[in-house]
Each structure stands twice: as C-alpha cells, then as structure tokens.
Structure 1
C-alpha cells in the first residue's frame, strides 16, 4: 500500500485507541467497576473489535500474517457487526432517540464518543474496503 493509506489508517487507529482509552478511563460504569461488563452491549463489543482491528490493519502493512488475520476479521466480525450496530442505532434513533439512549444516559456520554461508536465504524469500514483488497480466505 501507499504511504498515504498507511498514514490514513495510522491516524484512524490513533483515533480508535484514544477513544477507547477515554471510554475505559473517563466514562462511568453503571453498577460495575470492571470495563468488561460494558461488553454486553453490541455497541461496546463493536467498539473494542474495531480498535483491535485498526491496530492489526496498521501492523499488517509490515507483517503479512497480520494482513491475513485482518482479512479474516473483516469478513467474519468487523463488517457484519459494524453494519448492524450502526444501522440499528441510527434506525432506532431516527424513530425515537429515547429508544437507544435515555436522556440521563445521553448526558453522561460526550457527543463525539457517541459518533465514534455509531458513525465512525461505517466510515472506517467503507474506507478500509476501498483502500485494502480483502480476501475471503485465511
């Protein structure tokens, strides 16, 4: 790949990692102290998957084995879970915002983190599909 795509996906990876750091360090965990309890929600599961995937994509520029793992992850988890998560969130949000997030929770989550978890995955998946030719075999 080119230096431009490497720089672009390195930037994406930095955005993912710093957003996850903020979520782990700064966001409240209602009823639990461990972050792992937040993974029961599809949004947070997709968030963590995307963070790991973005790091693997960047490291895949150097290591061919990681590129093949990224190909496998793209087709088995990243694409389907990302599309479903974002589609469900914005579909339900268009009907009634309280269906996906009551007002008291919306006050706890910054607007930018909400977009990182519900809009950014679609943008990332589309750009990843455009810049990287993924193979459906491992």
Structure 2
C-alpha cells in the first residue's frame, strides 16, 4: 500500500511539473519574448538603426534548450508512469523506463546543472553579462528562477524520490557529450556563418585557447555527469532494486 501511494505521489508530481514547464514555456514565448522583441525593435527604429539578425530565435540560448529538455523529461516520466501503473511489464515498458533513466543521467541532470551553475556564477561576477537589468522589466522574478534556479533542486528531489537505474557510464557520457557538442557547433555556426555571437568570448578565442576551451568544457560536462551518477547512487545505496525499474541500457 505504501509503495502504491509513493508511486501515485510521484506520478502526480510528474504531471504537475510537466504542467509547470509547459506554462513557463507559454509565458516566456507569448508574453516575455513578444514584449521584449517589440521593445527592442522600437528602440532600434528610434535610433535609426537596422534591427540585428534574429536568426535562430531563442534557440540560440542554452537556457531554452534546457527548458525543452526538462519539459520533455517530465513528459516522458508521465508516459512511463502511465505504462507502469497499467501493470505492463512488456519489453516496450522496459525500454520506456530505460530511456527515462538514460535521459535523466545523460541530458536532464548535466545540462540542467550546467545552466544553473553557470548562470549564477556569471551573475555573481557581473549580472550584465548574463541577465542585464533591462530584462527585469519583462521577466517576472518567478520566471527567471524557474529557468535558472529551481531546475536543480527539482532534479535532486526527483533523484531522491524515484529509483533510477543509470546507464553504463560510456553510454551516458556519450549522450552528454553529444548534446554539448551539438550546442557548441550550433553556436559556432551562428557566429561564423551568421555573425551572431551568442557568447562573444568565443569570437576572440583561437588556436591554443580555443582548444583549451573545448577541453575544459568537455571535462566540466563529464564532471557534472559523474556528480549526477554519484548522487543517484548515494540516494539509493542499500536499497534493493524496485520492481518498477528495469535493466539499464548498456
């Protein structure tokens, strides 16, 4: 009975979180972005300047990639919960669980942690580099925190409440590095092909320093993956595998 209540609680939590992330995306896209875009267009027009190239939209920013990742993760959690609570123990159900656990370990946790840690680290140095004060007029404080703060504690609570079987480290790390490399290539394409530098520091890096940047970034992402792995192992140390969890991806 206690196990069933715990499963029901986690399922409801996943549904609530999915709704919160959908609502956040809706408010961001149809209220904040529209108002901010209009404000900037008018500012350029008043100055007699041509508005900058907007190619890529908000998908230029890792924060938005992360919002999509977190929304997808909790959507998949809801689907997986539905499959499991229906009593299915088919091979397909096992794949649902395995993919959920892989996505948490390889994408949702490391990318979410990267966004939170980097945002507030840069904010502590100079907030103008990451979130200029002019944005306060358009971003309600709660939206900023949903995008850049609560992501990490939500994931930690998820790892504490739900037992996950992590993928093999090789498979998990490959997923993390693939997402990181994909975003880096996207940013470099925007910079070199479209002259849109999301992170201006990349424009001045070359040769040794560019290689150093790539190496440090890769090891940092690798470190975040291992941190997530250790947290999950610590939360469930000494507990037998739940019959709601299945064989990991190897």
TM bin, normalised by shorter chain, reads 0.7 to 0.9
* Structure 1 residue 32: Cα displacement: 7.4
Q: TM-score, normalised by structure 1?
A: 0.87
CA distance in 2, matches of 1:41, 1:53: 19
* Structure 1 residue 33: Cα displacement: 7.8
CA distance in 2, matches of 1:103, 1:7: 37
CA distance in 1, matches of 2:9, 2:105: 24
Runs of 4+ in 1 over 4 A off after TM superposition: 31-34
One of 148, 156, 165 as aligned partner of 1:135: 165
Q: Which protein has greater RCO, CA pairs closer than 8 Å, 6+ apart?
A: 1
CA distance in 2, matches of 1:10, 1:53: 11
* Structure 1: stretches of 5+ with no match in the other structure: none
Deviation per CA, 1:72-93, whole angstroms, max 9, x where unpaired?
1111111110111000111111
CA distance in 2, matches of 1:32, 1:71: 39
Q: TM-score, normalised by structure 2?
A: 0.50
CA distance in 2, matches of 1:58, 1:2: 11
* Structure 1 residue 121: Cα displacement: 0.9
Q: 9-18 or 62-71, which moves further after superposition? A: 62-71
Aligned length: 137
* Structure 1 residue 66: Cα displacement: 2.6
